Structure 1
C-alpha cells in the first residue's frame, strides 16, 4: 500500500513539474521573439519617451545573422555585438557609432548607459524590457508592427525574365540582392556590381520602387542594367515562404530567395 502511494505521489510531482516546465518560455523562444524585429523605445529610466527625438524615432534591432544590435538613439546610430545566455541574460558590447551633435542628446546618453548596465531582458505582450538584476526596467520598447513584414530582410535574385542571355551569363560572379525595411519604406541592395538604396511604396500587394540611387562603379556586361530596367516594371509582389516574386501585370518577371 505504501509502495503504491509513493509511486502515485512521485508521478504526481513529475506531472506538476513537467507542466510548469512546459508553461515557462524557454530562452530560445524568447530570443526568437526578440530577433530580427524593430522595437521602438517608449520608456527610459521610468520616464516615457516621445515618438520623435530630434525628428527621429528611437529604435532597437537585434540582428540574428551576426549577433549584432543596431539602435537609432534619436540622434546617432549606435551598435555592436550582443550575447544571450540562460535565464534571459544579455550583454552588450559597444561598436561603431555615428558622431553627430543634436539639440537633444538626453535619450542618446540614457540609451548608451542602458547598454552598459543591462544584464537581462524580458518580453511580455509585445513589450521588450532591458533590466539590471531584478530592479525596475532600465528601458522599455514596443514592437513596431508592419503590414508588409513578410518582405523584411534580404533576398537574392535567382530568376529574371526577358534577358537574351542566360541567368548565369548575366550574373557569373555575384547575384543581385534587395533588402527591405518596411517600417521606413526603404530598400537597399547590390545590383551584382554597384550598391543601391532608395524608397519603396507599398499598398497591399502593389509595389513601386524609386527613386533609387547607386554607386557609380563601371560594370561589365548587361546584368546591372537588366536588373534595374526589370525592377522598374514591377507593380505587384507575392511572398511564399522563402520565395519572393515580382510581377508585372500577371507575369512573374523576377524571383528571389530569402538569405
Structure 2
C-alpha cells in the first residue's frame, strides 16, 4: 500500500512539473510570419515579458477576434515523446478569460513587404533604386539605399517608428546613385516617423509637423510577376561572387507556373509555387550531360542546390531578380 502511494505521488508530481498555468496577453492584431509555411501569427506576452513575440501555436478553447486585446490564464503543458518537427514543444489550453478590451487597430499590412521609394523630401523618386522591408520577425529593416544594401534595427510602437543606425555594404556607384543614397541615409537614419498606410502606399511623416517625408509604394503580386514573366534572367552573382556564369539562367512561365533554364551545363525544367515574396521550386528535371568545364560543373551544383531549398524569398530590384535564404542574398539574376 505504501509503495502504491509513493508511485501515485511521483506520477502526480511528474504531471505537475509538465504543466503550469501562465498569464498571457494577446495583441489586437496578427502579423505575417513564417513557421513551417507563411502564416499569420498572434502576438503575445507571456508572464512578465516586456516585448511582444510571435505565437506559432494555438490555444485550445480560445476564440481570437482581431481588434481586441486579451488577458488570459492558460495551461501550458510540455509535450511528451517524439515531437514532430512542425509542432510546438508545448500545448496551450484556455483556463480563464481574464479580460477582453477593444482597441483601435492600426494598419500594419505593410510589414514584411517590399516597399519601393516613390517620393523623398517632396521630390519624386521613381527609378526603383531605393527600397526596404520592415521585417517584424527579425526586428530589422533591410533593403537598398540607392547604391548599397543596408540593414538597421528599429523600434515600432503603434504607428510610431524609430530607426537606428544603418549598416551596409560600401560599394561605389555612379555619382547620381551615390548622391541619392546620401540623401536617403541622412533622411532616415536615426530618425523618428509616424507611419500611415493606405492600400499599397505607405507614408513616413514627421511626428511633430505631420509633413510627409518619405512615400513608398508596395508592388502588387501581379505587377511583380508581370515584370518577371517571359524574360530570360542570366545568373550574375551567387554566394556573394559576381562574375560571368556562362549559360546559367532562369525563365518563368507564370500562366502555367513553370520554370526552365540552364544551370551551367544542363537545361532544366519544373514547376513552382509562390506567394507575395516567397517561392518554392518543385524537384527539377533536365538533361544529364557530363560537365567537362570545372567552373560550369561547380556553378551547376551550387545553383541546383539553391533551387532545391524548401523556400526562398525573392524580390525584383531595378533590373535584377534576387533570391534570399535566411535573409542572405544567394543568387542574383539580370535581364539578358
Root-mean-square deviation (CA, aligned residues, Å) is 4.2
Between the two proteins, the alignment pairs up a number of residues equal to: 174
TM-score, scaled relative to structure 2: 0.42
Residue of structure 2 aligned with 1:146, choices 215, 221, 227 = 221
* More strand, by proportion: 2
Superposed displacement of residue 136, structure 1:
1.2
Q: Secondary structure at the match of 2:146?
A: coil
Is the contact between residue 81 and residue 94 of structure 1 (CA under 8 Å) also seen in structure 2? yes
Q: CA deviation at 1:35?
A: 2.0
Question: Aligned-pair distance for 1:256?
Answer: 2.9
Distance 1:148 1:23 in 2: 34
State the 1:235 CA deviation.
1.9
Pairing 1:69-108 to 2, within 5 Å after superposition: 69-86=141-158, 88-99=159-170, 100-104=172-176, 105-108=178-181
1 or 2 for the larger relative contact order (CA 8 Å, sep ≥6)?
A: 1
Cα deviation for residue 135 of structure 1 reads 2.4
Separation in 1 of the partners of 2:146 and 2:222? 24
Distance 1:81 1:186 in 2: 33
Residues 1-259 of structure 1 correspond to what in structure 2 (within 5 A)? Answer: 24-26=104-106, 29-30=107-108, 33-49=109-125, 51-52=126-127, 57-86=129-158, 88-99=159-170, 100-104=172-176, 105-116=178-189, 117-133=191-207, 134-147=209-222, 200-204=250-254, 205-211=257-263, 233-238=268-273, 244=280, 246=282, 256=310
> Where in structure 2 are there 5+ consecutive unaligned residues?
1-67, 69-100, 226-232, 243-247, 286-307, 313-325, 327-336
Judged with a 3 Å threshold, the aligned counterparts in structure 2 of structure 1 residues 146 and 210 are, in CA distance, closer, same or farther, namely: farther
Rounded Cα–Cα distance in structure 2 between residues aligned with 1:92 and 1:40: 17
Aligned-pair distance for 1:199? 5.4
Structure with greater helix percent:
1
TM-score, normalised via structure 1 length: 0.52
Q: Matches of 1:208 and 1:135 in 2, distance apart?
A: 49
Q: Output the CA distance in 2 between the equivalents of 1:236 and 1:148.
A: 20
